């Protein structure tokens, strides 16, 4: 089963992961890398973005990781959203939105100074 690793020290990331588990119900294990391990991914990367690691060892980060997780969702709407996010033009927009959210996560609901990326 794929695993989506997030920054468990970030309140915003933790809330987003909990919401993903509750509403999307993906066939992906969602875990804080600080508790579950890095799966060979550099900690520096895990501090910057969510990372999806597949059973084959493929690693996807950021918006692509989110899209692939949505594509494994429990409902058809989530699966469609995940597929659409991976389309070439939409992917550029999703990447930009993801980067903005990651850069400002300390200002978003649940965010704390620990969420700030330097």
pLDDT digits (tens, 9 = 90+) for 83-99: 999 999 999 999 999 99
What pLDDT is attached to residue 113?
81
Q: How far apart are the C-alpha atoms of 102 and 25, rounded to whole Å? A: 22
What pLDDT is attached to residue 31?
97
| 85 touches 48 (CB < 8 A) | no
* pTM check: above 0.85: yes
- How many structural domains does the chain have? 1
Q: Which residues contact 45 (CB under 8 A, 6 or more apart)?
A: 51, 61
Question: For the residues 57-84, what does the mean pLDDT come to?
Answer: 97
pLDDT digits (tens, 9 = 90+) for 7-55: 999 999 999 999 999 999 999 999 999 999 999 999 999 999 999 999 9
Domain of 56 in residue numbering reads as: 3-115
| Ramachandran angles phi, psi of 12, nearest 5° | -65, -45
């Amino acid at each position: 089963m794929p695993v989506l690793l997030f920054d468990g020290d970030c309140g915003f990331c933790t809330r987003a992961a909990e919401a993903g588990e509750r509403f999307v119900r993906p066939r992906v294990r969602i875990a804080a890398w600080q508790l579950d391990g890095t799966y060979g991914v550099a900690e520096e990367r895990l501090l910057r973005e969510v990372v999806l690691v597949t059973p084959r060892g493929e690693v996807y980060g950021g918006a692509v990781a989110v899209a692939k997780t949505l594509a494994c969702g429990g409902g058809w709407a989530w699966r469609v959203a995940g597929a659409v996010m991976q389309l070439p033009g939409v992917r550029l927009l999703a990447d930009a939105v993801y980067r903005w959210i990651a850069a400002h996560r300390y200002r978003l609901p649940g965010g704390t100074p620990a969420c700030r990326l330097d």
